[in-house]
Each structure stands twice: as structure tokens, then as C-alpha cells.
Amino acid sequence: PTGSLLYPYGPHQGDETNPKHDDGTSEEIALSIPFTFYGKSYQTAFVNNNGVISFDKPVRQYTPDPFPLADGRPFVAPYWADVDNVLGGDIFYRQTTDPALLADISQDITQYFPKSPFTATWALVATWDQVAYYGSTSQKGNTFQAVLTTDSKMFYIILNYWDIQWTTGAASDGDAETGLGGTPAHVDSPPIFQAGFNSGDDTNFYNIPGSETEGIINITTTSNVQVPGRWVFRVDDFQVTGVEPPQLNNNCWL
């Protein structure tokens, strides 16, 4: 959509499109520039239909686990939930060195992290476009995007949330008509959805505020870089991004 915070995507941008399979995944993506994620370098990635970019192996699990994950899977979860692209929506991805796009990404990251000027040399852009949820009987769709980018020294992830209309698939006890609900408020219930990332070790992980709660439906209004709907993290080494953590103010995440 024009004027949106999403970077350009879709077949006309040269994107690949994931197969229409519930809990499906892209083919293995051989990264033209290895991506350093918490001190480890990865040569391959998968764009998984259920809202996860994983390294080395796909993730088909549809009910998310809270971070940190016990089994050490390293991945980025813009919106880990029970997506069903058979019922609606598309998942697109591309690796790119397009100068115009890299210039936009470089300008954005340099603005958010002015102490570390950044000139992107590569990006992987993955976009979940109006994706439905498993068991849906509605027209609701979620549109969000994850960008992995580097200048070969620093490695960043940008998460863009454009339109979030549902939180839970029916197999995770969500309501088939609304795509909401699904997790009683006791500790051992599975989260309805997870946003953030897991480094693969026990200490480096990040949950975007509101993860695992219905409040996540408002993620399009929250940010750690003062751009509503956008979260940006430097991920080559663990550091909380050079910005102040969000403050809870009148029950709204700022």
C-alpha cells in the first residue's frame, strides 16, 4: 500500500512466493551474504508460512513457544502464529541488492542509530500479505514484514507491522470467526502468538511487549524507533538496540 511503512514487495519486485500449504515454508534460501545472528554466521534461511524466518532448518510448528526456546532454534519471529495461506494471503520473499531499496534501508537505520552510520549492501525482505489464520471463517488478514540487512559488519532486523486483524488460529483455541482469544491466563498455556527473536542460546532473546497477549493486536501502534508499527534491532551481538526500552504509559506501549 502506498504511504505504508512496508518496503516494496510482491511479484513485480521480483519476489518468490511461498507454496499454498498450511504450516508450509519456502525452499532453502542460500544467503548471498552470510547473516550473523548473535555471534554465529548462517548461510541458509527459510521463510516459514507461520510468521518465522529461521536459520539452517524450517519451522512448521504453528502454536508458538515462549522465548527463550529450550531447543536452541535460532530464528526471527515477526509474528509466529497459525497462518494458513491456503485460506487467504501470500508470503513473498527476495534477496536484494537493489540500490534504491538499500538506500532507503540505510537512511532509515542511520536515522535510528545515528552513532553507527550504516550503508546496506544486501537485504532479505519477507512479507506476509493479508494472510489468513487456520480455521478462519472470516475475511481477516494480517500484513507484516521482516527485513534482514547488513553492511557486512553490522547486522540488523527490521520488523514492520502494517495491518494486524487476528491473533490466534482455531487449532490454538482461537475463535474461527474472529481469530481472537485462545489462551487462558494461566502460565502453562501456550502463547497465542509470539513476536521477537531467539538467538539459539539461553540468554539472548527478545519479546516485543504485548507478545503472547491479546494486546499484540495493537502492535501497529508500538515501536522502539518512534515509527508506529516498526521495530528495529541490531542482532550481530546482543545489545538492546541503543534505544530506550518501551515505557508502559497509561497501559499503552510507546
Segment 3-45, tens digit of pLDDT: 579 999 999 999 988 877 666 678 899 999 999 988 889 999 9
The pLDDT assigned to 176 comes to: 54
Closest to 143 (Cα-Cα) out of 128, 126, 121: 128
Provide the residue ranges of all domains of the chain, joining segments of one domain with +: 11-95+121-234
The pLDDT assigned to 155 comes to: 95
- CA atoms of 251 and 20, how far apart (whole Å): 38
The pLDDT assigned to 253 comes to: 41
Residues of the chain with pLDDT under 70: 1-3, 21-24, 61-72, 82, 133-138, 167-194, 202, 210-217, 238-254
Query: Sign of torsion, CA 6 125 253 139?
Result: positive
